Structure 1
Amino acid sequence: MAIRIKSHWWNEASNRTLPEIASALAFISWRIALDKAINLHCERFVYADDAQRLGVIREYLAFLIQVADRLAHGRFADDARRVLITSLVRNVIAHCQDNSQDLLGPGDYGSPFVDLLNRRSADYAQYQLDQDGPSYAFLRHLGFEIQNLMGAGQENRWVIDQVMDKDGWDAYKSFAKAFRDLFD
């Protein structure tokens, strides 16, 4: 299932600030992560509940934030990159908080996401992402974390392969294209 990502500005003549672009990237990240979580269900993988589905979405969001940071690395000076990624993370946290609260009820859902993001940042730092995209190990780690979340029962046994071979790669391609489009 493919989603349509709007990654061009309505008024292209207008200059955008990095926080404005980060806000658009956060929304795009949420849409991509949600689409990939839905796709797993469409491929007959089984979620125990909405909390588990949100966990998968958060894993994709952590992955896409790492991708954004790598894409920004060669394109911006350190200060601009910091502004972009910090704004992106803040907006993603707001999406996580709002959507988690809608599904699971009142609570602090932002702080656990920050903790997850800090752990994943250390994990993904070991892996390569170059002009051709994420390395096999980069995608494998995403698949591994999602498999851990969903369990290795008979119905979810091959989720790691689905994420590594198709969904993770598709998420990267969609996000990288949107990232480039928003800056061009």
Structure 2
Amino acid sequence: MALRIKSHWQNEDIERSLDEVGGALAFIAFRIATDKAITLHCERFVYRDDAQRMRVIQEYVIFLIQIADRLAHEMLDDDRRRELITAMARKAVDHVQDNSQDLMGPDDYGTPFIQRLNERSGEYAEFQLDDEGPSYSFLRHLGFEIQQLMGEQDENRWVIDQVMDKDGWDAYKRFSKAFRDLFE
């Protein structure tokens, strides 16, 4: 079944705050990230447990936050861009906390996510996003991080290729379309 992303406001005549747009982007990013984690499973890559699957989802969300930041740079001044990405990150933390708690029980899942987001933001800052999409290095970094999470046992050896060649591109395309739709 194909993932359906709602990326248009029900009442398009109402102007939305950057906080509302950031919340919508976080929800869309989490849905796309979850879909990509499911795709990996359907492609016969093996998760050790729910915690590992949730970490893969988080890596995709972090990647999509980086994409949102680059796309926002094209459209917004620095203060508005910061406001949007902060709102998106805060809402993403809520999604990570709620979903992780549902799967694995009570704990603080948000703080480690924020730490990884901050760390990855510095790493992704080295990579380019242009009109054609994320650079090879951008996608390779996502694939590398997911490969580190999945391990290199036989069934997961080629996960980096799946992420770089298919899933990362698809996540980017779906998310960038939704991003632009929300600002129409």
TM-score by length of 1: 0.99
Partner of 2:55: 55
Partner of 1:38: 38
Q: Distance in 1 between matches of 2:34 and 2:98?
A: 14
**Once the 2 structures are TM-superposed, how far is the Cα of residue 131 of structure 1 from its aligned partner?**
1.1
1:1-184 paired onto structure 2 within 5 Å:
2-184=2-184
1:48-99 residue CA offsets vs partner (Å, 9 max, x unmatched): 0000000100000110000000000121011100110000000000000000
Percent identity over the alignment is: 70
Q: Distance in 2 between matches of 1:135 and 1:2?
A: 26
Q: For residue 99 of structure 1, give the secondary structure of its aligned residue in structure 2.
A: helix
**Once the 2 structures are TM-superposed, how far is the Cα of residue 2 of structure 1 from its aligned partner?**
3.0
Q: For residue 75 of structure 2, give the secondary structure of its aligned residue in structure 1.
A: coil
Q: Distance in 1 between matches of 2:3 and 2:111?
A: 29
**Once the 2 structures are TM-superposed, how far is the Cα of residue 119 of structure 1 from its aligned partner?**
1.0
Q: Distance in 2 between matches of 1:123 and 1:21?
A: 25
Q: Distance in 2 between matches of 1:64 and 1:2?
A: 19
Q: Distance in 1 between matches of 2:31 and 2:177?
A: 14
Q: Distance in 2 between matches of 1:147 and 1:2?
A: 25
Letter in 2 for 1:167: D
Q: CA RMSD in A?
A: 0.6
Structure 1 unaligned residues grouped into runs of 5+: none
1:157-182 residue CA offsets vs partner (Å, 9 max, x unmatched): 11000000000000000000000000
Runs of 4 or more, structure 1, over 2 Å off, are none
Letter in 1 for 2:61: L
Q: Distance in 2 between matches of 1:114 and 1:24?
A: 19
Q: Distance in 1 between matches of 2:178 and 2:133?
A: 14
Structure 2 unaligned residues grouped into runs of 5+: none
Q: Distance in 1 between matches of 2:93 and 2:43?
A: 28
TM-score by length of 2: 0.99
Is the deviation greater in 1-10 or in 87-96? 1-10
Q: For residue 106 of structure 1, give the secondary structure of its aligned residue in structure 2.
A: coil
